[in-house]
Amino acid sequence: MVSKKERRNKIKARIRGRISGTAARPRMTVFRSNKEIYVQLVNDLNGTTLASASSKGIDQGTKVEIAAKVGELIAGRALQAGITEVVFDRNGYLFHGRVKSLADAARKGGLKF
C-alpha cells in the first residue's frame, strides 16, 4: 500500500517534469504544513527565489482565510518585482481548500497563471 507521503511525491515529480520557471514567468510553488502555508516564486534556470510570502505572523481567521491573505501578499510582492505571469506548482497537494484559496487570491491580486 502506498503511503500518503509517497503518493504526494509521485504527483509532485509528475508535475515538476512538466513545468519549470523562468525569469519572465517564474514557478509559483506552494508548501502547506499543518499550521502554516508558504509560497515562493522560483526561477528554475538560475535556481533563485524571486519573491516569497508565508502565513507566519498572520493569525486572524481560519486557515483558508489566512491562505487567501498570503495569496494577496505574494501577488503584491510579485507585481512590485515586475512579475505578472507565473506557472502554478501545487507541489503535489490537491487543488482545493487552502491551495485553491491562495491561488484564487493571487489571481485576484493581479497574477496570471
Residue 91 lies in a domain: yes
- Tell me which residue has cell 507565473: 86
Smallest CA-to-CA distance from 32 within 87, 102, 88, 113 is with 102
Determine whether 47 is exposed, middle or buried from the number of CB atoms within 10 Å of its CB (0-12, 13-18, 19+): exposed
Residue 50 lies in a domain: yes
Model confidence at 107, in pLDDT bands (50, 70, 90)?
A: very high
Query: How high does pLDDT run on average in the chain?
Result: 95
Grid cell locating 90 = 501545487
Residue 36 lies in a domain: yes
- If one counts the domains in the chain, the total is 1
Query: Structure pTM?
Result: 0.92
pLDDT for 68 equals 97
Q: Domain containing 37: what range?
A: 4-108
The CATH number of whichever domain residue 48 belongs to comes to 3.30.420.100
Phi, psi of 39 (to 5 degrees): -145, 140
pLDDT for 46 equals 94
pLDDT tens-place string over residues 40-86: 999 999 999 999 999 999 989 999 999 999 999 999 999 999 999 99
Smallest CA-to-CA distance from 22 within 73, 77, 86 is with 86
Residue 113 lies in a domain: no
